[in-house]
Amino acid sequence: MSMLHDIGARALHLLDPEDAHTAAIRGLKRGWGPKAPLDDPMLRTVVAGLHLPNPIGLAAGFDKSAEVPDAMLAAGFGFVECGTVTPIPQAGNPRPRLFRLTPDRAVINRMGLNNDGIEAFAARLQGRERKGIVGANLGVNKDSDDRVADYIICLKRLWGLCDYFTINVSSPNTPGLRALQSKEALDALSGRIARAREGLEGTTPIFLKIAPDLEPFEIEAIVESAVEHGFDGLIVSNTTIARPDTLQSKHARETGGLSGAPLFERSTEVLKLTAQCAKGRLALIGGGGVSSGAQAYAKLRAGASAVQLYSAMVYGGPGLVQRIKRELCGILQENGYATVAAAVKR
């Protein structure tokens, strides 16, 4: 069956990238996705109190409106992050806005946080059985007068419906959003989120997702602000606005965020710097260019307790997550680690 799923994934490459994505979501909603076997116990791990069956997560952007989280958990992901969701539905930027860079095994997107809005997102989460770890990536409406208020609206509406939250301050496709990573803006945002969190029952981890285009002094400031205001962890990293000279695709100069293979090296460098600054005070999740067990292992050795991927599935198909887990198990064993947690560089 995995071969049939991978053949189907290759067939989707005959379609426009966004049409292919829409078709994939429809197929998953109809139950056509792969069904993974139980994970090897050595892959179990705990991140910010979240008990994961394996450390390979689905990054935000694939399931923007929480339509298929359970299908992706069934496909073998250890956790699934839905979103980015905003308070009010928005159409995003004009098409074309999603580009395959096939020679580079990369993707550029300038989607503009298109999604069905918080009410539809919440209704879907309310309608599912709470099995598996599902997070919500929170964003802001493009024309919002108070962007911090948008995060808080989403946080309060979804509290109790998902297992963790990610505050997205690093999408390059919403004008001005990345400015929220500056020290002053981030302190203001973090303080308001911390106060909102105090008024909510129970404890749910909150992560901050940062860009790979930060300088070391900016990373240090973000880490200290996150620790001071009670964030549980950081996701390192979002897409990049940089364009490496190595890109070969005709779409290489399209505007938007670049993801996939060319992001791996830079995102892993930023992860290492973040881990050095955090000194174990924050849980770290590594994203950016992961497409193999060796790359997942490299993220663990750089300080991440888990990883996320999305763009690699465009080229590796739905069977990719199983291949990564098999490879990771072999690498852990070869290096004398009995568990994922033991391999994480502290």
Task: Report pLDDT for 9.
Answer: 61
Q: Percent of the chain at pLDDT above 90?
A: 92
pLDDT tens for 93-140 read 999 999 999 999 999 999 999 999 999 999 999 999 999 999 999 999
Could you tell me the two tokens for 148? 């911090």
Lateral strand order in the sheet of 106-109? 98-101, 106-109, 257-260
Q: Is the pLDDT of residue 7 over 60?
A: no
pLDDT band at 4 (very low <50, low <70, confident <90, very high): very low
CA 281 vs. chain centroid, Å, equals 21
Of the ranges 47-61, 169-183, 297-311, which one carries the lowest mean pLDDT score? 169-183
Residue 88 is classified by DSSP as S
Helical axes 118-126 vs 147-158, angle rounded to 10°: 20
- CATH topology assigned to domain 2-343: TIM Barrel (3.20.20)
**What is the Cα Rg of the chain in Å?**
18
Residue-wise pLDDT tens digits, 203-248? 999 999 999 999 999 999 999 999 999 999 999 999 999 999 999 9
Q: Which of 6-15, 171-180, 256-265, 317-326 has the lowest mean pLDDT?
A: 6-15
Number of Cβ within 10 Å of residue 310's Cβ equals 21
Alpha helix stretches (DSSP H) within the chain: 2-11, 17-29, 69-74, 118-126, 147-158, 183-198, 216-228, 264-278, 293-301, 311-316, 320-334, 340-343
Binned at pLDDT 50, 70 and 90, residue 6 comes out as low
What is the residue whose two structure tokens read 């198909």? Answer: 317
pLDDT score, position 257 = 98
Which residue, chain included where needed, has tokens 């695709």? 249
Alpha-carbon torsion angle 269, 271, 277, 279, nearest 10: -130
Which of the four pLDDT bands, split at 50, 70 and 90, describes residue 1? Answer: very low
Q: What is the DSSP track for 256-303?
A: SEEEEGGGHHHHHHHHHHHHHHHTTSSEEEEESS--SHHHHHHHHHTT
* Nearest by Cα to 316 from 66, 95, 13: 13
Enter the pTM of the model. 0.97
Give the integer Cα–Cα distance in Å for 194 and 196: 5
The burial of 129, by beta-carbon neighbours within 10 Å (0-12 exposed, 13-18 middle, 19 or more buried), is given as exposed
Q: What is the pLDDT of residue 3?
A: 47
Specify the DSSP element, H or E, that contains 51: strand 50-52
Please list the active-site residues: 171
pLDDT digits (tens, 9 = 90+) for 74-98: 999 999 999 999 999 999 999 999 9
> Residue 16 — left, alpha, or beta (φ > 0 → left; ψ -120 to 50 → alpha)?
beta
Domains of the chain: which residue ranges? Answer: 2-343
Amino acid at 143: D
**Among the ranges given (50-59, 170-179, 296-305), the one the predictor scored with the smallest mean pLDDT:** 170-179
